[in-house]
Amino acid sequence: MTQTNATKMTSSTSSTSSTNPSAAVKNELAPKGQLRAGMNLGNTLFTGKDASGQLHGVSVDLMQELAKRLGVPLEMVVYEQPGQVADDSAKGLWDVAILAIEKTRAKTLTFSPAMTEIEAGYVVHQDSAIQRIDQVDAPGVKIAAPVKAGYELYLTGALQHASLVRTANFGASLAVFNQQEVDVLAGLKPNLIDSMGKLPGAQLLEGNFMVINHGLATPLGHSAADEYLSHFVQDMIASGFIAHSVEKHHIIGLKAIKG
């Protein structure tokens, strides 16, 4: 994704800080004088947009708090999908983002400790012979998943027999599943549950194939920022900030890590 394709939204924050970040931390997290947060609209459990175009959600709360502690304005650089955020990590377009912690991404990103968890699961057609999670990875089985989603990256390395049909986004995965082009639909369980009304003749399998952890991500090579963000996330967990934000936004299926 190029800079012209990423939407930028700027908001001011209080300069009052409850911490005392060093000059090195500010230079690495706000090199342009503001905190540029990569915001992913593809994960609605973290980020939503209202009718006026304003962003809201757990991600916004966390980024506003981080900018407040740094004493800098917040600029939100908006992307449609998480893979686009990760792809721009080396381009200097954003300074910090919330992304699924995943080993492929760790080649170009450093992650904070995990702060949340979300289950990922499967939906199958009602007449499918697949009735359990452990039956999905079988020869000839086709699984729809959005390209570069955290769980798609996991399945790419984990599947031994089944094949992936990579789609542009979750909506496209729903479409190919309904068109009977695939046997299985993969997704975050809260999104799957919310989508069952759009999936006639489908059933959600019990359990999950993975639990996805999210953290704050920065491009590699920012050691001062990484240490600061590690302490920031630990504080957000211990204080109940993340759990309160999840509750405030009525997000079902996103769980804060317990301190």
Write down the pLDDT at residue 194: 94
Cα 132 to Cα 176: distance, rounded to the nearest angstrom: 21
Write down the pLDDT at residue 124: 98
28-61: string of b/e by CB count within 10 Å (b at 16+)?
bbbeeebbbbbbbbbbbbbbbbeeeeebebbbbb
Cα 88 to Cα 84: distance, rounded to the nearest angstrom: 6
Write down the pLDDT at residue 4: 34
- Taking 50 as the pLDDT cut, the residues of the chain under it are 1-5, 12-18
The amino acid at residue 34 is Q
CATH code of 3-116+213-256, in short, is 3.40.190.10
- The domain spans of the chain are 3-116+213-256, 118-210
The answer to whether domain 3-116+213-256 and domain 118-210 are alike in fold is yes
Write the pLDDT tens digit of every residue in 232-242: 999 999 999 99
Give me the long-range contacts of 218-223 (CB less than 8 A, separation at least 24). 218/28, 218/29, 218/95, 218/96, 218/109, 218/110, 219/89, 219/90, 219/92, 219/108, 219/109, 219/110, 220/108, 220/109, 220/110, 222/28, 222/29, 222/110
- The bridge status of strand 74-79 relative to strand 35-40 is parallel
Write down the pLDDT at residue 14: 36
58-70 and 241-248 helices cross at what angle (nearest 10)? 140
Residue recorded with tokens 């504080």: 235
Write down the pLDDT at residue 1: 34
Query: Is 118-210 assigned to CATH 2.60.120.860?
Result: no
Write down the pLDDT at residue 255: 96
Q: Whole-prediction pTM value? A: 0.85
Write down the pLDDT at residue 19: 66
